[in-house]
Amino acid sequence: MLSSKFQPVSTVHLKLEGSGPVFGQWITWTDQDMPGRRTEHGREVSLGSYLESERLICQRYSYDSCEVGTLPNQTWVNGTGPIAAFTTGPNGGTLSYLPGQRISACTCPGKDHPGLDFTVGQAAPEIDMVEAQIAIAEGEGQVSAARQLAPFDDYYQFDNSTRYATIYDKDLTYDNTYLGSTTQQSASGLTTVPSNIYYDQNGESKQFTMFAIEYLVFPDDRDNAYITWWADNKTSWTLHSGGMGPNERTEISRRLIPEEPMTMVMNLHTYVG
């Protein structure tokens, strides 16, 4: 029997604002589920997805299990564990300040749920195709290609072993040392990009280049799912589903490669530093 599969591909051709080694503007291009996009623009979404204390409470989750990972702060109902939830966050403290997955696989029969099956979790997963930044010491432009996760691994460390994470050119791409915070975990690769794709770079500039993501999803065979990113017309890295597998220390299950419809979002921010 063949498993059903989804294989979305998003491709853009961009030239980046400013110049490679100069701070100023931060451009991002993201694939995000519709509830996250609608909430991000300040409009309440049905079935409990809304802004709380100016945070996206629905975002980051891509989770389909009914256990502690869906609960506030990733702690048991009585608030006494797991130990990793209190000791593996920033400075050895709290791991997660998320208020819990609003539309989870723990939905009770008869309660509001947007899907066909109340036992299926839903949220607003996010895949970042391009987040432009600066490597200060090197004076070079870089892009981050990331999968934002919730719930979190201890110390926010996903499994980036070569079994689950493939970097295709280590002279250009490497693991991002930023792994997350109390509101998100990030599985991210950083890729150096050439100066001629920046609009204000001296000399030959203003060149368009391709960035892309492809993610392959098998809802009936989740072990074979993956996400691959491209930067500057080259394959940069691949994250396989096993890199976001179960974590015994935080007592959570697999975080999924998104299986929900996604929309493309472009942001341009002004950087103040």
What pTM, to 2 d.p., does this model score?
0.85
Half-sphere exposure at residue 271, Cβ-oriented, CA atoms within 13 angstroms: 14
Q: Left (φ > 0), alpha (ψ -120 to 50) or beta: where does 91 sit? A: left
In this structure, the dihedral spanned by the alpha carbons of residues 87, 88, 91 and 94, taken in order and rounded to 10 degrees, is: -60
Q: What's the pLDDT score for residue 126? A: 85
For the chain, the domains span 9-270
Q: What's the pLDDT score for residue 34? A: 52
Tell which wins on pLDDT, 254 or 10. Answer: 254
What are the two backbone dihedrals, phi and then psi, of residue 100, each rounded to the nearest 5 degrees? 105, 160
Cα separation of 263 and 165, whole Å? 25
Tell which wins on pLDDT, 234 or 260. Answer: 234
Instruction: Detail the DSSP E strand segments found in 125-225.
Output: 126-135, 140-149, 165-167, 173-175, 180-181, 184-193, 209-216
Q: What's the pLDDT score for residue 21? A: 59
Greatest alpha-carbon pair distance for the chain in Å reads 64
